[in-house]
A and B are shown apart, each in its own frame.
Chain A
Amino acid sequence: MPSPKRQESSSTRESIKKVVKRVHFIPDRYEIEQELAGHIEDSVLFLQEEEGLSQQEAEKAALERMGDPDEIGIALNRQHNPVLGYIWYFSRIVLVLLCVIVVLQFIPVLLLSGWTILFEHPIRDIPKEAYVRHVEPNELIKLDNRRIRITDVVQTKDGTLHVLYSSYNLSFSGLHGWSFNNLGELKDEDGEIYFTGSGRSTAGLYTRGRRSIKDFPFDKEKLILEYDYAGRCFKVEIPLGKVAYND
């Protein structure tokens, strides 16, 4: 059973203060104070019970047994190294702050990318009954740190050819508002270049996009994506397959 807390005398308080003054790592001082007070109190109780000393005599003896407060303080200061102590103390503060900032910044990014992965797919803009041909080339394009995957190419009854792709950047640039909508020149197997009719792209770390070309001839068998700019190039040939149905 813990002993009831006693009121410390002024001499005990002074001795403890002398000790902790020598400890330069201030955040540890309170803990040291409590520990020393506990030890002295236990010692006083022991001396009263075992040796029959009065309260005042017991306190005096307990403080004498404790030793020189300055020496104890110097020894404790060595144990509670202030340099290491402050590095540890401030590292905790910085750690918590950084954790909060990074988590708060990361959550929207993860939510946005998660939303794109789960729910945003521009292929859903195209009614399935309008398809006349559909291929899933699954071609991966590497452009610097960016990875672009051509996921689907769909041609609809009105002749529009939709190129659907997903993209992400290993350098996290999607976070800074830059998305990639440039798949280069879109050509057929005879070298005819088609200009984009429309397109859209989601935002975030992981994006999905669509580029659509109006009036792509039904008799063309290949779509070629060719990019050659600022020292970067890629060329992807996508066989389009046969037209299944056309009014």
Chain B
Amino acid sequence: MTRLKKTIRNLVIIVVLLFLFMKLNGLYFSPVQALHASERDLHFGPSEIVHSFDHGNSRYFLTRYEGMISCSPIKRSLGVFWRYGAGHGVPNNEDRPVFTSYRSEGNNWIVYGMRNDSSIARVDIEVKNAEGEIQVYSSDTFYEDMFYIIWQGENESEVLFSQIFAGLKAYDDAGSVIYDSEIIL
């Protein structure tokens, strides 16, 4: 067999093995592919991607699907791949002016949600830090009414969200409180 034929044979086998390796490890070349594959395996979606942003080693997708919202992280893996991950949503409670949910990963905490009242211009989340002091994190950026607030805090293995959550407030353009809640979900 000539070297050219051997090379072609090797490359064909590499493609097959790479496919198996990617399947075995839930790896995709594109984060959107990974997100939608995750959703499909959770029997959900494909959801509509409203916004995506990078944080740490992950790309987060704010999505919505059939009255549900989600903020799913897809992790970068081995430099060129994106690893199959979370992808399920929570039903948006439209009775609340602002509906929120949260997720955590290590020291990263994310509150995300949907404003159901379009007069809301800013959302604040109040959380306790390790010393018990209240910290306020805000967002005044909305993507088709969806928003996220991200911060670094205590490791998720050490505290529950219910232990650090102190309050959620939503304001209108004039700065008046429209919604004040001690419930996050």
Complex contact B40–A171 (CB within 8 A): yes
- Cα A102 to Cα B21 in complex, Å, equals 6
In the complex, which residues of chain A have a beta carbon less than 8 angstroms from the beta carbon of B3? 81, 84-85, 88
In the complex, which residues of chain B have a beta carbon less than 8 angstroms from the beta carbon of A172? 23-24, 26
In the complex, which residues of chain B have a beta carbon less than 8 angstroms from the beta carbon of A171? 23, 37, 40-41
Instruction: Tell me, yes or no, whether A87 is within 8 Å of chain B by CB.
Output: yes
Contact partner, A230, options B4, B11, B18, B66, Cβ 8 Å: B66
Complex contact B10–A145 (CB within 8 A): no
A91's nearest neighbour on chain B, judged by CB, is B10
Instruction: Tell me, yes or no, whether A94 is within 8 Å of chain B by CB.
Output: yes
How many residues from A make CB contacts under 8 Å with B? 31
Binds B, one of A38-46, A150-158, A173-181, A195-203: A173-181
Complex contact B20–A84 (CB within 8 A): no
What is the distance, in angstroms, from A145's C-beta to the closest C-beta of chain B?
6
B 1-44 binary contact with A (CB < 8 Å = 1; else 0): 00110110011011001101101111000000000010011111
- Cα A222 to Cα B157 in complex, Å, equals 46
How many residues from B make CB contacts under 8 Å with A? 28
Instruction: Tell me, yes or no, whether B178 is within 8 Å of chain A by CB.
Output: no
A173's nearest neighbour on chain B, judged by CB, is B41
Complex contact A95–B14 (CB within 8 A): yes
Instruction: Tell me, yes or no, whether A113 is within 8 Å of chain B by CB.
Output: no
Contact partner, A169, options B14, B20, B41, B68, Cβ 8 Å: B41
Complex contact B7–A230 (CB within 8 A): no
A94's nearest neighbour on chain B, judged by CB, is B14
In the complex, which residues of chain A have a beta carbon less than 8 angstroms from the beta carbon of B113? none
What is the distance, in angstroms, from A177's C-beta to the closest C-beta of chain B?
10
- Cα A109 to Cα B14 in complex, Å, equals 21
- Cα A98 to Cα B26 in complex, Å, equals 16
In the complex, which residues of chain A have a beta carbon less than 8 angstroms from the beta carbon of B4? 84
- Cα A176 to Cα B6 in complex, Å, equals 34
Contact partner, B10, options A92, A105, A143, Cβ 8 Å: A92
Complex contact A98–B68 (CB within 8 A): no
Contact partner, A231, options B13, B18, B66, Cβ 8 Å: B66
Enumerate the 3 nearest inter-chain pairs by beta-carbon distance, A residue then B residue, closest first: A91-B10, A173-B41, A98-B17
